[in-house]
Amino acid sequence: MTDPYLPREAEILERVDEAGSIFSLRLALTDPRARADYAFAPGQFNMVYLFGVGEVPISVVRLRGEDADFAHTIRPVGRVTRAMAELRAGDRLGIRGPFGRGWPLELAEGGDVVVITGGLGCAPAVTVVHHVLANRERFGRLVIMQGVKHSDDLIWAEQYARWREAPDTRVLLAADQARPGWTGQQGLITTLFDQAEFDRGRATVMMCGPEPMMVASARRLVDDGVEAGRIWLSMERNMQCAAGHCGHCQFGPRFVCRDGPVFHYPEVAGLLGVRGF
């Protein structure tokens, strides 16, 4: 029996400094067999362990769409992630994972894909965009909508510019408060929905970001005729074990680490946005 509580050593192959204090680490498990066997689905996460400091859940991504190795894009916010900000190529980490349920990318094939994100960048959504662009012929239109509180909070401006050039792809940005010169929309993310052209009946919507934003977006989409069953969202809760044991990630009856982090909107609609859950 495998021990779900045993990290595997990984080496940092490359470090990339992204916008602001955000950084990415491209990693490989040091055991060659494990490295070759490591596979993840977009939307899954790893428990990333820094020796002597602690362990945190971080989405698994690829640094570049074509990379063979996995990567993590990390925003330093507290004790563990700030200590991780010191890491350099050649340093070692412990990795448990991948865990959880990822995005319904196969289900989305054949129709339009709408990606809605809020706040300060959203690693799980980036993997969706990479996947659609890498398999362009399998999907219809790609609409990416990002909302931020203040126009200054927009990071990854270059990435959005690049995506804008991609075939059949639309990027729409909204800022609650905008500095003069802002070319996006001013207002909440839902103000973008009227401009977004996609097939309301057959599109798949994937969201991540602050929960109030996701609740407002999901309700508005349903009002606009999108079936609740075509909406998916990624959730965050405190996670200690990622094995469905520690109880911290419970969202009503769900364990976010195991039943999520990507949920089908109808599964969670009842408690989503209810204070205290």
Partner 1 sequence: MSIYGFLHRSALKQLPECLNEAGYRCIGPRVREGAVTFGELTSIDDLPRGVGDEQRPAHYRLGEREDERLFAWAVGPQGLKSWLFTPRETLWRSRRDDDGRLYFETGSPADDRPLAAIGVRACDLAALRLQDAHFLEREPDPGYRKRRAGLFLVAVDCTHPAETCFCHSTGDGPACESGFDLALHELDDGFIVHAGSEAGERVAARLPLLPVGEEQEAARRDQQRAAIDAQQRALPGRNLRDALFANLDHERWQAVAERCLSCANCTSVCPTCFCHSHEEVPDLDGRTSEHLRQWDSCFTEGHSYIHGIVIRAETPERYRQWLTHKLGSWHDQYGRSGCVGCGRCITWCPVGIDLTEEATVICAEAGDD
Ligand X SMILES: Cc1cc2nc3c(=O)[nH]c(=O)nc-3n(C[C@H](O)[C@H](O)[C@H](O)COP(=O)(O)OP(=O)(O)OC[C@H]3O[C@@H](n4cnc5c(N)ncnc54)[C@H](O)[C@@H]3O)c2cc1C
Out of 28, 47, 57, 139, which residue is the one contacting ligand X (CB under 6 A)? 57
Round to whole Å and give the CA distance between 205 and 223.
14
Of the listed pieces 71-79, 194-202, 212-220, 264-272, which binds ligand X according to CB under 6 A?
71-79
Of the listed pieces 19-27, 91-99, 172-180, 191-199, which binds partner 1 according to CB under 8 A?
91-99
Q: Is 15 in the site for partner 1 (CB under 8 A)?
A: no
Which of ligand FES, partner 1, ligand X, none does residue 92 bind (CB under 5 to 8 Å by kind)? partner 1
Out of 174, 218, 239, 262, which residue is the one contacting ligand X (CB under 6 A)? 239
Question: For residue 30, what are its two tokens?
Answer: 């040091």
Q: Is 249 in the site for ligand FES (CB under 6 A)?
A: yes
- Tell me which DSSP letter residue 27 carries: E
- Residue 33 CB, nearest distance to partner 1 (Å)? 16
- CA 194 vs. chain centroid, Å, equals 24
Q: Is 56 in the site for ligand X (CB under 6 A)?
A: yes
Out of 237, 264, 269, 273, which residue is the one contacting partner 1 (CB under 8 A)? 237
Q: Is 247 in the site for ligand SF4 (CB under 6 A)?
A: yes
Which of ligand X, partner 1, ligand SF4, none does residue 246 bind (CB under 5 to 8 Å by kind)? partner 1
Spatial CB neighbours of 210, under 8 Å, sequence gap ≥ 6: 118, 119
The residue among 85, 110, 104, 57 whose CA lies nearest residue 242 is: 57
Phi first, then psi: what are they for 8, rounded to 5°?
A: -115, 145
Q: Is 245 in the site for ligand FES (CB under 6 A)?
A: yes
Q: Which is nearer to partner 1, 51 or 199 (CB)?
A: 51
- One-letter amino acid at 105 equals L
Q: For 263-268, which contacts have Cβ atoms below 8 Å and span 24 or more sequence positions?
A: 263/232, 263/233, 263/234, 263/235, 264/104, 264/229, 264/231, 264/232, 265/218, 265/228, 265/229, 265/231, 265/232, 265/233, 266/228, 266/229, 268/233, 268/235
Q: Which is nearer to partner 1, 123 or 129 (CB)?
A: 123
Q: Is 9 in the site for partner 1 (CB under 8 A)?
A: yes
Write the binding mask 27 to 46 for ligand X: x where contact by CB under 6 A, - elsewhere.
------------------x-
The residue among 261, 269, 268, 267 whose CA lies nearest residue 41 is: 261
Which of partner 1, ligand SF4, ligand X, none does residue 275 bind (CB under 5 to 8 Å by kind)? partner 1
Count of positions (residues) in the chain:
277
The burial of 166, by beta-carbon neighbours within 10 Å (0-12 exposed, 13-18 middle, 19 or more buried), is given as middle
Any idea which residue has 């950084």 for tokens? 23
Write the binding mask 104 to 133 for ligand X: x where contact by CB under 6 A, - elsewhere.
-------------------x----------
Spatial CB neighbours of 234, under 8 Å, sequence gap ≥ 6: 43, 103, 122, 124, 125, 206, 207, 208, 260, 261, 262, 263
Of the listed pieces 3-11, 77-85, 182-190, 207-215, which binds ligand X according to CB under 6 A?
77-85
Q: CA-based Rg of the chain, rounded to a whole angstrom? A: 18
Positions that interact with ligand X (CB under 6 A): 45, 54, 56-59, 73-75, 77-82, 123, 236, 238-239, 261
Positions that interact with ligand FES (CB under 6 A): 239-242, 244-249, 255, 257
